[in-house]
Structure 1
Amino acid sequence: MAGTSLLAACSSNEAGRWVGDYVTANDFEALRGWGVDANSLTRDHAHSGQYATFVNAEREYGLTFDMPLNQASVHPLKGVAVEAWVYLPTPQAAASLEVQVQLPGTENRQAFAGSIKLADQVKEGAKWTRVRQEFAFPAGLPDEAHLRIFLWRNASSLPVYLDDLKVKALE
Structure 2
Amino acid sequence: MRLLPFYSLLTAAACAGLVSCSDSKTDVLPENVIAHNDLESVEGWAPANPALTTAKAHSGRYSMRVDNDIEYGVGYGALLAKVSPTRLKKLELSAWVLLTGKETEAKLVIEVKNPADDSQKVFWEAIALGDEVKALNKWTEVKKTFTMPENIAPTHELRFYLWRGGSSQPVFVDDITLARAE
TM-score, structure 1 normalization? 0.85
Q: What's 1:156 paired with?
A: 167
Other structure's SS at 2:32 match: strand
**Does 1:60 find its partner at 2:71?**
yes
Q: What's 2:115 paired with?
A: 104
Q: What's 2:40 paired with?
A: 29
Which residue identity lines up with residue 59 of structure 1 in the other structure?
A: I
Q: What's 1:168 paired with?
A: 179
**Does 1:87 find its partner at 2:90?**
no
**Does 1:140 find its partner at 2:175?**
no
Which residue identity lines up with residue 120 of structure 1 in the other structure?
A: D
> Does the 8 Å contact 1:21/1:73 carry over to 2?
no
Q: What's 1:120 paired with?
A: 131
Other structure's SS at 1:168 match: strand
Which residue identity lines up with residue 152 of structure 1 in the other structure?
A: W
Q: What's 2:8 paired with?
A: none
Shift of 1:36: 4.2
**Does 1:38 find its partner at 2:38?**
no
Shift of 1:155: 1.2
Shift of 1:40: 2.1
**Aligned positions, number:** 155
Other structure's SS at 1:139 match: coil
Consecutive unaligned residues in structure 1, runs of 5 or more: 1-9, 12-19
Provide the alpha-carbon RMSD of the alignment. Answer: 1.7
> Does the 8 Å contact 2:101/2:170 carry over to 1?
no
Q: What's 2:87 paired with?
A: 76
Structure (1 or 2) with the greater strand fraction: 1
73-82 vs 105-114, greater mean Cα deviation:
73-82
**In structure 2, how many angstroms separate the alpha carbons of the residues matched to 1:58 and 1:108?**
25
Other structure's SS at 1:31 match: coil
The runs of at least 4 aligned residues of structure 1 exceeding 6 Å deviation read none
Matched-pair identity in %: 34
**In structure 2, how many angstroms separate the alpha carbons of the residues matched to 1:53 and 1:36?**
15
Consecutive unaligned residues in structure 2, runs of 5 or more: 1-28
**In structure 2, how many angstroms separate the alpha carbons of the residues matched to 1:133 and 1:89?**
22
**In structure 1, how many angstroms separate the alpha carbons of the residues matched to 2:73 and 2:115?**
22
**In structure 1, how many angstroms separate the alpha carbons of the residues matched to 2:138 and 2:98?**
6
Q: Which has the higher contact order (CA 8 A, sep 6+)?
A: 1
